[in-house]
Amino acid sequence: MAFLAGGLHFLNLGGTVGMDRSRWKRVSPSHPCPICGHIRWCTVSQDAACCMRVESQKPARNDGWIHLLNDEILHEWKSVPVVKDPGRTDRKMDALWRPRAKRWRDQGRSEVGRLALQIGVRVSALNELRTGWDGKAWTFPERNGEGLIVGVTRRFEDGKKLCAKGSRRGLTYSPAWPRVSGTILIVEGASDVAAGITLGLVTIGRPSNRGGRDMLETT
């Protein structure tokens, strides 16, 4: 059965979604995926993204998943190149993102409690992760193996998660964890890390089920 979604032509094939490839543009270092932040594999059309890493309720025939995007996200994706210097070092990324993460953390202290109730974790666990609020979404710093902040992920009220514009994917963990002894639990995503901390576990979050391996080896 064929149907239209915001001007895009999809084909429903046994529960999967087929795509008209002529309408889709592949992501790049200057315009990474608005869903997972990766610079390869994913594609974006006029009001949707086909992400190869983050699942949705609309699986695509190419093994990815369809995510419908709002006008604001699409405007950011189309308007300005996100990474002008693909070779930017982690230290330079830290100089860019650390002050932003701190500002959002400071202005979001009254908002962290709402997220704690929503996902069922302690406020102290979110505070350990330096969770903030940028006015539209909760923010989580992502770090390399040395603790440098290389980007920020955003969690919206409806549960959707996106990378902040210009971010590089990293690990989610408490800056205090190297001073804590015990078994280290490796999970996926910030909310799982917060849940682990709530349970008293030393927890590190990967950006995806396959991502962050090189950073884990140097953490």
44 within 8 A of 33, measured Cβ to Cβ: yes
104 and 211 housed in the same domain: yes
Domain boundary among 31, 54, 79: 79
Decide: residue 201, CB within 10 A, 0-12 exposed, 13-18 middle, 19+ buried: middle
The pair of structure tokens assigned to 35 is 């869903």
CATH number of the domain within which 106 lies = 3.90.980
128 and 197 housed in the same domain: yes
- Number of domains the chain is built from: 2
Q: Is residue 47 domain-resident?
A: yes
Write out the E strands in 57-198.
65-68, 132-133, 138-143, 149-155, 161-163, 184-188
Domain boundary among 54, 79, 104: 79
Coil vs helix vs strand at 97: helix
Coil vs helix vs strand at 8: strand
Whole-model pTM: value is: 0.62
What is the full per-residue pLDDT of the chain (219 aa) written as tens digits?
233 333 333 334 344 444 455 578 888 877 778 887 777 788 888 888 888 878 788 888 767 888 888 766 666 666 544 444 556 789 989 998 999 999 999 988 899 999 999 999 999 999 999 999 999 999 999 999 889 999 999 999 998 888 888 888 999 999 887 666 678 889 988 999 999 999 999 899 988 777 777 777 666
